[in-house]
Amino acid sequence: MSEAQQNNNGAERSLSLEEIFEQRIANDEKIEPKDWMPEKYRKTHIRQISQHAHSEIIGMLPEGNWITRAPSLRRKVALLAKVQDEAGHGLYLYSACETLGISREELYEQLHSGKAKYSSIFNYPTITWADMGAIGWLVDGAAIINQVPLCNTSYGPYARAMIRVCKEESFHQRQGFEIMLTLCNGTEAQKQMAQDALNRWWWPSLMMLGPTDAESIHTEQSMKWKLKRKTNDDLRQQFIDQTVPQADILGLTIPDPDLKWNEETGHYDFGEIDWDEFWQVVKGHGPCNKERMNARVGAWERGTWVRDAAMAYAEKQQNKKENQAKAG
Amino acid sequence: MNKNWPLWEIFVRSKNGLEHRHFGSLHAADAEMALENARDVYTRRSEGVSIWVVESKHITASNPEHNGELFEPAQDKIYRHPTFYDLPDDVKHM
């Protein structure tokens, strides 16, 4: 028995447990579901993992909009597979979250009541086919930058889910870029469509990486727990630096007059982000917040009888088996 | 009614010759549905050739707080390892 466990003084004991816990994380040990953890660690992880899961589930809606209207069978199977992956990613993440002692029903309830958030980017509309390209290229690109460091996070089930998610995500971005490239090599009207999509998705994609470090209330604690390995501003800079040359290959213009290469820093300088817009969308006033929630809650409610019927059938089969066993 | 689907643990053999490994969990009304859902959730890219599903409530897990009593007794039994035994260098194939 360790010294910490032998100490009977309640306050000192819990402090020591916490010190041991922080030490384990500092040593890059993983925390598993049944290990002791501070309540704040549990709560923060429930918040972040569930928000991530909800984003995958709501993220299916803007793209689902275009499945039936994909321009070719090749594009249609790819989009279907991508949306199906997103459902899968949501499920990996929900089950990782449930290991922290919250039920799936509670998680859904938090999403449906608006208590839990999802990524604000999915509150923008997908009005042309080029939006499927821009989402794959930019939104999945930003998501990958966010997610790769999480493969190394301290909570075992989350890290394992993220490894699987990242493995599957890279096709998402490539299929998006291919859509953009095809449009850019097409007619003038098609190229314009691609430019218009970039114009609309560029700034929301930058916002997707979260508030600036000065405004981000959770960053410090999350860095300590390795729930975050890089700050929002670092991730954003990385995203811009790698995306600008890709836009050059497409022959598209990033909609930021202040964007320019800075020889000294070795990074791109960029213009002011409209954070008022970001907070408006987070608070529920984006172009599609209502539509997304209605679609999600409606699907859940209309599915009730299916879930109940499946459960009733399972019980009936079980009873039948038991009765046969008794009779036999 | 309002009865929630129970939780299942999913084990997948990625190819013959390898053991089934824990892949994650999911909700399903019964074992058959758990298998079908596991196929869709965990093997979309040919990750498996065989799936086991076990309802989570049937798994008994050891408590990490008892790791000392459970696992430490093995630590001082170094005579269970081949390097414990001193042999001259010119002994081959051993």
Q: Which domains does chain B have, with CATH numbers?
A: 2-58 (3.10.20.520)
pLDDT of amino acid A7 = 46
CB contact under 8 A, B64 and A32: yes
Mutate: best of B12, B22, B45, B67, partner A, most A CBs <10 A: B45
* A310 domain residue, yes or no: no
A311 neighbourhood in chain B, CB within 8 Å: 1, 3, 5, 29
* A274 domain residue, yes or no: yes
* Four-residue CA torsion sign, A284, A288, A291, A292: negative
CB contact under 8 A, A92 and B41: yes
Side-chain-side CA neighbours of residue A318 (13 Å): 10
* A297 domain residue, yes or no: no
CB contact under 8 A, B64 and A313: no
Cβ contact A240:A206 at 8 Å: yes
pLDDT of amino acid A93 = 98
Side-chain-side CA neighbours of residue A48 (13 Å): 23
pLDDT of amino acid B2 = 60
pLDDT of amino acid A4 = 46
Q: Alpha-carbon distance B53 to A34, whole Å?
A: 21
Angle between helices A289-302 and A39-58 (to 10 degrees): 90
Q: Alpha-carbon distance A201 to A134, whole Å?
A: 7
CB contact under 8 A, B1 and A312: yes
- How many Cβ atoms sit within 10 Å of the Cβ of residue A139? 25
* A198 domain residue, yes or no: yes
Q: Alpha-carbon distance A10 to A18, whole Å?
A: 12
Q: For all residues of chain B together, what is the average pLDDT? A: 94
CB contact under 8 A, A92 and B1: no
Residue B70 forms contact with A (CB below 8 Å): no
Give the CA-trace dihedral at A189, A191, A194, A200, to 10 degrees: -70
Q: Alpha-carbon distance A66 to A189, whole Å?
A: 19
Q: Alpha-carbon distance A193 to A289, whole Å?
A: 24
Point out the residue among B4, B41, B61 whose CB comes nearest to the CB of A34: B61
Which of residues 101 through 140 in chain A touch B, CB cutoff 8 A?
103-105
**Residue A60: C-alpha distances to residues A112, A121, A280 (Å):** 16, 12, 22
Residue A77 forms contact with B (CB below 8 Å): no
Beta-sheet pairing, A267-269 with A260-262: antiparallel
Q: What is the DSSP letter of A30?
A: P
Point out the residue among B7, B41, B64 whose CB comes nearest to the CB of A34: B64
Instruction: Provide the domain count of chain A.
Output: 1
Residue A36 forms contact with B (CB below 8 Å): yes
Which residues of chain B carry a pLDDT beneath 70?
Answer: 1-2
Which of residues 266 through 325 in chain A touch B, CB cutoff 8 A?
307-308, 310-314, 317-318
Q: How much of chain B, in percent, has pLDDT values that exceed 90?
A: 95
The torsion angles phi and psi of B53, rounded to 5 degrees, stand at -125, 135
Q: What is the DSSP letter of A219?
A: H
Q: Residues with Cβ < 8 Å from A310, sequence gap 6 or more?
A: B5, B29, B30, B33
* A127 domain residue, yes or no: yes
**Residue A256: C-alpha distances to residues A25, A262, A273 (Å):** 41, 15, 10
* A305 domain residue, yes or no: no
* A313 domain residue, yes or no: no
Q: What is the DSSP letter of A266?
A: T
pLDDT of amino acid A327 = 87
Mutate: best of A95, A98, A106, partner B, most B CBs <10 A: A95
* A117 domain residue, yes or no: yes
Q: Residue A259 sits in a domain of what CATH number?
A: 1.20.1260.10
CB contact under 8 A, A314 and B44: no
pLDDT tens, residue order, chain A (328 aa): 444 444 444 555 556 889 999 999 999 999 999 999 999 999 999 999 999 999 999 999 999 989 999 999 999 999 999 999 999 999 999 999 999 999 999 999 999 999 999 999 999 999 999 999 999 999 999 999 999 999 999 999 999 999 999 999 989 999 999 999 999 999 999 999 999 999 999 999 999 999 998 888 888 888 889 888 889 999 999 999 999 999 999 999 999 999 999 999 999 999 999 999 999 999 999 999 999 999 999 999 999 999 999 999 999 999 999 999 998 7
**Residue A145: C-alpha distances to residues A150, A152, A178, A302 (Å):** 10, 13, 19, 36
CB contact under 8 A, A88 and B41: yes
User: Whole domain around residue A46: which residue ranges?
Assistant: 17-286
The DSSP H or E segment spanning B58 is none
Q: Alpha-carbon distance A276 to A145, whole Å?
A: 24
